[in-house]
Amino acid sequence: MRLVLLGPPGSGKGTQAALLKDRLNIVHISTGDLLRAAVAAGTELGKIAKATMDAGELVSDELVLQLLEDRLNEPDVANGYILDGYPRNLAQAQALDELLARLNQNIDHALALIVDEEQIVARLAQRAAEQGRSDDSESVVRHRLHVYAEQTAPVVNYYEDKGILTAIDGMGSIDEINQRLCDAI
């Protein structure tokens, strides 16, 4: 089973992806984790990513896609995987489809967590207080939500047009949300 998990920052994607990974016995793939691992391992792609990030620039979609392709060719993904927060824009969604076509794969389900904006702000304010994260200040969170609405929301429509999207109510307890996700699959 190959899944894409979408949702705004603070919607619980990481939490739910970790639970689904264990429940479905599939691999959890986060492109952020792939980048950090490549940098830590000092791979060629990691060196390029590190130089880009050290210069304060965003890592290119092409480099992220190459890291993802390398990961999707590893044997442990044969049973399936969940992509957590990727693709983030329409170009990435289309590039992912091209990559998967080359690998003779396809996305089985795209799941979009729907969470009230004020709930997200409250969740991330709590996370900021608990973990001391400056990227979770209210102004930063509201900006990230605006960017999500502009760039990532069209990806939801993309998967809806393909007939593989299910919108999931992301409000409630972690267990309730996880059960909704499993029911949708």
Mind telling me the catalytic residues?
Answer: 13, 88, 127, 133, 144
Return d(Cα 170, Cα 156) in angstroms, integer.
15
Q: Where are the beta strands (DSSP E) in 43-108?
A: 81-84
Q: What are the strands of the beta sheet with 109-114, ordered from one edge?
A: 27-29, 81-84, 2-6, 109-114, 165-169
Return d(Cα 20, Cα 182) in angstroms, integer.
8
Cα dihedral across residues 145, 151, 155, 160: positive or negative: positive
